[in-house]
Amino acid sequence: MICIQIWAVIKTRNLIYDKLVNYMIRSKLDLVKNSLQNFYTELKSNSSPSDFEIKEAGEVLQKILLQNSFNAEEQRELALFMRINDMLPLFQRVFEKFETNVEAEFSRSLINNSTNVKKTLMNEYSTYSRYVISLKNEITLAKINSKDNVLFVGSGPFPITAILIHELTHAHVDCVEKNMTSASLSNKVIAFLGYRNSIRVINKDAMHINYARYTMIVFAILAKPLDKLLEIMWYQITPGTRIIYRSAKMIREAFYENTEQNISQTFNEYKKGKIGSKRTISSILLVKD
């Protein structure tokens, strides 16, 4: 009888604990959803935000979604909430501007300093360590080597992907950037780092690039419209050409597009590999047969 009573007490306590945990989870998610809704409403009310406001908005969005640890189920719920309420397009536009401004600011600080501190500055770049790990994985996945002629589409004002691909493989890299200001800054960074003979920045719309001369093509996660770019590229490239594109998942879709679900199903048969977290950013390898 005593054992039964003890078991009943333990069971009751476990039920109470489970209910408390579920309540805390629901409270956390409701709080995050409320913060996202308020943030979205505020963004919509400002049709022409200043660079300072963009900076604040980018930091707030990261704080709302990244300061807490969410499991897969919670991430799916938050991503669905943002999708149903049509928040993602606005969040992505704001974060694209935020990230571009961060890169531009870093590029200016880099080229305005002496060459003896360039490595220190590179290591202080907020996403440098993450990029190194990511690029090493992409290089292994696609077997990029010094004989490759690489094209990086959507290089922005700080072409970190091109820089790391060259440093890690010694391959020649061409960058395509349609924004004149960003392309100009990229060229200055390349010159500052002494890579003019190894990395070239082309100020041009990627819709009008000759893709046929490249053996390896990497699309930045902000390269748009990816589906159209892939279609144009596909008819030009030769068999054996490798392509890597990047895609966001779950709550990271607040920052970048889930390009993998948006591109034509035609390319699925050419997928040869995929790396990265299911909850963050993935790199997908295509190889033309």
Confidence (pLDDT) at 118: 55
Give yes or no: residues 216 and 171 share one domain: yes
Q: Are residues 95 and 175 in the same domain?
A: no
pTM: 0.84
Let me know whether 183 and 266 are in one domain: yes
Q: How many domains does the chain have?
A: 2
- 96 with 136, same domain: the answer is no
CATH number of the domain to which 233 belongs: 3.40.50.150
131 shares a domain with 93: no
Looking at residue 13, what is its pLDDT?
Answer: 44
Bridge pairing between strands 281-287 and 242-248: antiparallel
Average pLDDT of each block of 10 consecutive residues along the chain (289 residues)? 47 42 62 92 90 92 88 91 95 94 88 63 63 88 96 95 94 96 95 93 95 96 90 93 92 89 74 72 89
Sign of CA dihedral 62, 83, 218, 177: negative
Are residues 132 and 252 both part of a single domain?
A: yes
150 closest CA partner among 73, 80, 218: 218
**Same domain (yes/no): 221, 269:** yes
Q: Give the range of the structural domain holding residue 53, as residue numbers without chain letter.
A: 2-100
Does residue 220 belong to any structural domain of this protein?
yes
pLDDT at 267: 78
| Cβ atoms of 247 and 278 closer than 8 Å | no
Task: Answer yes or no: do 53 and 167 share one domain.
Answer: no
Residue 14 CB neighbours (<10 A): 10
The whole-number pLDDT of residue 85 equals 96
Examine residue 112 and state whether it is found in any structural domain, yes or no: no
